[in-house]
């Protein structure tokens, strides 16, 4: 199978102070190949990643915990299907290979080693500490914790750069604010209907020169399908209030007036912020990966963004800690 050459390449940016060059659009792998019934179609997962690569994407964001390890294996297969692009594709993964992970040095090394085996790589450009709760902060950051072990693996040449990634913004924030990480994956905190990251995460990332990868820019499907074409399977792990649905409907009206798809608005919006390097919407199927790339290339005039600005709102999707 030959690899197509996109007619207009996706923009490339440096991932903060890492210097690693990535496309502004990546592909997330948390739901890779999942069917509506929850089962996994590995062939569809491989096809989705290959489709993303063929449409110009050069960043693949995965994790050892995604699809119980299957996602990393699928990513490895897809990258090997395009050997001529091996030097251009950046694969990043995350340390936490079991649900009851304790973020110790030994567990961290084991997790990285299992990722290397599944991905069939000898070096991973960026490795993130995955979903550490704020209450294990001292363990993660201590001399026998995950960060110290990743620094040792970095010195050994196994890991390129070390980042932090947590789905809960209030867990993610204290780690980002240490300045000890070169990059951060920021999910559930920045989209057309979420602005949590503007409060503390983005200012800290800019202060320390961190690369920011925005995850969940489509709010698990709502900002891809819109309010008029919803299906329950599109909105995994999300329950939207009537107010948030109404707000998205108003955004859709502006998109319609300018001929800009909601998908394009959602993806392009998050990478317009100066703190953000790129975004990694998930793709379960090949057509989703292709649609994301096409949307990132859509023309969106500045007048569109000016009219959209007053409609941007913040509907928190995570519960802040008790005060």
pLDDT in tens, 157-173: 999 999 999 999 999 99
pLDDT of residue 240: 79
What separation in angstroms does the CA of 277 have from each of 13, 22, 26, 184, 230? 6, 8, 10, 10, 29
Q: Are strands 21-23 and 159-165 parallel, antiparallel or unpaired?
A: unpaired
| Short-list 128, 121, 21, 13, CA closest to 65 | 128
Lowest-confidence region among 117-121, 246-250, 258-262: 246-250
Rg (CA), the chain: 19
Quick one: pLDDT band at residue 9, thresholds 50, 70, 90? confident
Quick one: pLDDT band at residue 316, thresholds 50, 70, 90? low
C-alpha 85/C-alpha 54 separation (Å) is: 10
- Three-class SS of residue 37? coil
Look at the pTM and tell me if it is higher than 0.75: yes
pLDDT of residue 231: 55
pLDDT of residue 2: 44
- Three-class SS of residue 258? helix
| Short-list 65, 73, 107, CA closest to 91 | 73
Q: Return mean pLDDT, the chain.
A: 92
- In DSSP terms, 119 is beta-bridged to none
Encoding tokens for residue 208? 């320390």
pLDDT of residue 39: 83
CATH fold label, 12-311: TIM Barrel (3.20.20)
Burial call 120-142: b when 16+ CB within 10 Å, e when fewer: ebeebbbbbbbbbeeebbebbbe
């Amino acid at each position: 199978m030959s690899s197509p050459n996109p007619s207009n390449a996706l923009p490339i940016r440096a991932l903060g102070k890492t210097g690693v060059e990535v496309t502004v659009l990546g592909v997330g792998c948390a739901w890779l190949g999942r069917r509506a019934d929850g089962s996994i179609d590995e062939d569809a997962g491989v096809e989705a990643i290959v489709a993303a690569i063929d449409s110009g994407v050069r960043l693949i964001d995965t994790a050892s915990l995604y699809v119980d390890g299957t996602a990393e294996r699928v990513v490895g297969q897809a990258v090997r299907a395009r050997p001529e692009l091996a030097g251009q594709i950046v694969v990043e993964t995350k340390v936490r290979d079991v649900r009851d992970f304790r973020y110790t040095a030994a567990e961290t090394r084991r997790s990285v080693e299992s990722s290397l085996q599944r991905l069939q790589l000898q070096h991973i450009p960026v490795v993130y500490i995955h979903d550490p709760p704020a209450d294990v902060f001292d363990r993660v950051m201590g001399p026998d914790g995950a960060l110290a072990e990743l620094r040792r693996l970095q010195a050994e040449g196994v890991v390129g750069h070390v980042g932090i990634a947590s789905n809960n913004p209030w867990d993610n924030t204290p780690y980002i604010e240490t300045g000890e990480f070169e990059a951060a994956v920021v999910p559930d905190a920045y989209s057309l209907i979420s602005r949590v990251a503007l409060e503390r995460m983005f200012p800290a990332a800019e202060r320390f020169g961190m690369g920011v990868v925005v995850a969940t820019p489509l709010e698990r499907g709502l900002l891809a399908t819109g309010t008029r074409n919803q299906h329950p399977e599109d909105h995994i792990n999300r329950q939207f209030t009537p107010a948030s649905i109404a707000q998205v409907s108003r955004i859709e009206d502006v998109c319609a007036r300018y001929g800009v798809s909601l998908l394009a608005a959602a993806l392009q919006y998050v990478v317009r912020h100066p703190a953000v390097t790129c975004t990694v919407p998930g793709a379960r199927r090949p057509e989703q990966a292709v649609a994301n790339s096409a949307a990132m290339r859509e023309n969106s005039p500045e007048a569109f963004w000016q009219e959209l600005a007053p409609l941007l709102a913040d509907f928190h999707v995570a519960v802040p800690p008790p005060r």
